[in-house]
Structures are given as C-alpha cells and as structure tokens.
C-alpha cells in the first residue's frame, strides 16, 4: 500500500506518518520510485504501537524511541526485559512535574524517616535492593502523601503492597514463552496495563464505598 493507504488503515495523517519516518519511529517503506514507497502490515503494526504508547501510555516520543529500541534489540532474559520497561516508565514519570515526589531534599525535620519506612517495607517483602531507584521513589511518594495530610497507615500500606504482589504475579504469569511475544508483553504490556490497573482500582473503590454506605 502507498502512504495514503497506510494513513487510511491507521487513522494517522500522512504528514504525521512522514514525521514518524523522519524521527525513526517508523521504518521506511520499500522505494518504488524516487519519491514513492510502499508499506506493509509491519508498518501498520508499528504505527498502531506508537499511537498506543503516546495516547494510552502517555509516553513522549523520546520514551517511545526507547521502547522501540528495546523491542528491536531485546535483552536476553525476562528479568532484564522488566528492567528495561521500568527504566522507560521511570524516565517518563520523571518528565512530569507532578510526579517529582522523589526529587530534592525533604522539608521534614526527619530527613530519613520516609526512606527508612520505604526500605523497611521493601526488605520485609524481599522486593529489591535498597539502592534501587524505586525505593527512593516510594520514599518520596510517602513523604508527599504525608505532606498532603493523607494518613497512609502501616496496615493500609501493607494492603497495597499485598495487592501489588498479586498484580505482579499475574503480570509474570502472562508472559508468553516465545521471545518476541515476551518482549512485547513485558515492555509494551507493562506500559499499557498501568492505566488499566488505575481504572480498575477506581471502579473497585466505588463498589467498596457503596458497600460501606449500605452497612453503615
């Protein structure tokens, strides 16, 4: 198909498709003349992936480039794949001002309080090393919640951690055996199911709240 056909198949304007090619987000078509090329189903799949990552996962084009690089030259192990996916997500989140909860020195008189709490939780659940960037991120998020007047008790935090373990087990179990499928599921699936998890949580909150009102 010509680029106009690719635009029709994907719903992406021709100008945007040409931009994707210039930026390396979409591989060039097969040239049939000096100014013409044809495209196939691999181009359709790549365009749809780029759109999903930018629109549903909220990635910048730079972060999309990182995802595509992992897909095109994947790590050898599933654990490394997860690390690659998390690296992209952290880079995306660090680019959002509202998510910079782990940046700078804490205003609290107890500068190590939240770091200690995060490290204690991680150690208790045997999740990751103390120097993992996610531990510092968790500490910053706990600090931000407290600063906003949100009482995140030990019991509440433990319940959230238990739910996270359940979700993680389901994530790992969903990874297919073949390498290509594993790459796509771990890297792209992790990015695109984060919004799904958030929506499910909100719907579950509605049900839980309704149940409390009925018994109150």
- Whether residue 188 sits in one domain with residue 119: yes
Question: What is the number of structural domains in the chain?
Answer: 2
- Whether residue 97 sits in one domain with residue 11: no
- Whether residue 34 sits in one domain with residue 75: no
- Whether residue 127 sits in one domain with residue 86: yes
- Whether residue 130 sits in one domain with residue 174: yes
Q: Please indicate whether residue 165 or residue 68 has the higher confidence score (pLDDT).
A: 165
- Whether residue 197 sits in one domain with residue 103: yes
- Whether residue 144 sits in one domain with residue 67: yes
* Final residue before a domain boundary, out of 55, 79, 95: 55
- Whether residue 125 sits in one domain with residue 105: yes
Whether 200 shows a pLDDT value over 90: the answer reads yes
Tokens 């499910």 belong to 200
Residue 53 CB partners (closer than 8 Å, separation 6+): 59, 63, 64, 67, 188, 191, 192
Question: What sign results for the dihedral spanned by CA atoms 68, 72, 78, 83?
Answer: negative
The torsion angle over the Cα atoms of residues 124, 103, 196 and 54, rounded to 10 degrees, is -140
- Whether residue 70 sits in one domain with residue 174: yes
**pLDDT-based confidence at 102, cuts 50/70/90?**
very low
Burial of 88 (0-12, 13-18, 19+ CB in 10 A): buried
Whether 104 shows a pLDDT value over 80: the answer reads no
Whether 109 shows a pLDDT value over 60: the answer reads no
Angle 31-19-26 from CA coordinates, rounded to 5°:
60
- Whether residue 168 sits in one domain with residue 186: yes
Which CATH number do you get for residue 39?
Answer: 1.10.1660.10
**pLDDT-based confidence at 7, cuts 50/70/90?**
very high
Mean pLDDT computed over 66-82: 75
**pLDDT-based confidence at 25, cuts 50/70/90?**
very high
pLDDT digits (tens, 9 = 90+) for 125-177: 999 888 888 898 899 999 999 989 998 999 999 999 999 999 989 988 888 87
- Whether residue 42 sits in one domain with residue 143: no
Host domain of residue 160: 56-215
Whether 93 shows a pLDDT value over 90: the answer reads no
Regarding pTM above 0.75, the answer is no
**pLDDT-based confidence at 26, cuts 50/70/90?**
very high
- Whether residue 172 sits in one domain with residue 106: yes
Q: What is the pLDDT of residue 68?
A: 86
């Amino acid at each position: 198909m010509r680029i106009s056909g690719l635009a029709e198949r994907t719903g992406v304007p021709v100008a945007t498709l040409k931009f994707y090619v210039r930026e390396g987000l979409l591989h060039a078509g097969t040239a049939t003349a000096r100014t013409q090329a044809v495209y196939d189903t691999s181009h359709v799949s790549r365009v749809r992936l780029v759109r999903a990552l930018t629109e549903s996962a909220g990635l910048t084009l730079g972060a999309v480039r990182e995802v595509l690089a992992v897909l095109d030259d994947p790590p050898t192990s599933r654990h490394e794949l997860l690390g690659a996916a998390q690296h992209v997500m952290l880079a995306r989140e660090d680019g959002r001002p509202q998510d910079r909860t782990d940046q700078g020195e804490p205003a609290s008189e107890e500068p190590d309080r939240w770091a200690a709490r995060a490290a204690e939780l991680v150690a208790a659940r045997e999740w990751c090393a103390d120097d993992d960037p996610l531990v510092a991120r968790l500490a910053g998020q706990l600090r931000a919640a407290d600063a906003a007047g949100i009482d995140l008790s030990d019991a509440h935090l433990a319940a959230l951690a238990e739910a996270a373990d359940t979700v993680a087990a389901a994530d790992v179990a969903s990874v297919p055996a073949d390498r290509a499928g594993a790459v796509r599921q771990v890297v792209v699936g992790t990015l695109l199911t984060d919004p799904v998890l958030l929506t499910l949580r909100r719907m579950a909150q509605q049900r839980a709240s309704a149940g409390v009102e009925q018994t109150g």
